[in-house]
Amino acid sequence: MRRKTPSITELKERAKKIKLLILDVDGVLTDGKIIYDSEGREIKAFDIHDGHGIRLLHDAGIRTAIITGRQSKVVGIRTAELGITDIYQKARDKNSVYQELLNKYELKDENAAFIGDDLIDLPILKSVGLSVAVANAVDEVKEYAHMVTKKMGGEGAVREVIDFIIKTQGKWDRLMERYTK
């Protein structure tokens, strides 16, 4: 069943309650392409603005987590760089991992946001307080999302959501002081 698209006011009300942003990787933090070099090593490209946004989110006191269906050494390296400590790879049942995160941090559905792009993400998208599909997500995911980004996965979509959450929570100006002083 398709979700009714919420108004901007409703989106902001949802964003104000967010304490945890959960991200898929392939198609969200990356453009969804998997590249192998001649030695069989996996190569992924991550958007630098998304990474800086994740750091800003941490500075704003909002946690981040990764739940991905694939296993990748590259994901471990990138998440360590960004200070993401809750990383769940090879998660075939993403919803059970999601429930584990809620329990770990004593949060409710309304306190979590999730950004996804494919069918495996639907169970979480249907549960979280703020569900987001990237612009290049499959149509079924967009149908269940509260918000669809203007930017594509791997091209700043995560930062778009992060900026929206931080600004809506009234934390943007404080975070910008370090850059504008």
How high is the pLDDT of residue 59? Answer: 97
pTM of the predicted model as reported, rounded to 2 decimal places: 0.95
Confirm if 118 and 141 have CB atoms less than 8 A apart: yes
- The pLDDT value recorded for residue 5 is 80
Q: What is the pLDDT of residue 37?
A: 92
Q: Is residue 28 within 8 Å of residue 153, measured between CB atoms?
A: yes
Model pLDDT, residue 181: 84
pLDDT tens column, 80-115:
999 999 999 999 899 999 999 999 999 999 999 999
Rounded Cα distance, 89 and 20, in Å: 18
Q: In the chain, which residues have pLDDT < 70?
A: 1-3
The fold of 8-176 is Rossmann fold (3.40.50)
**pLDDT at residue 1, as a whole number:** 52
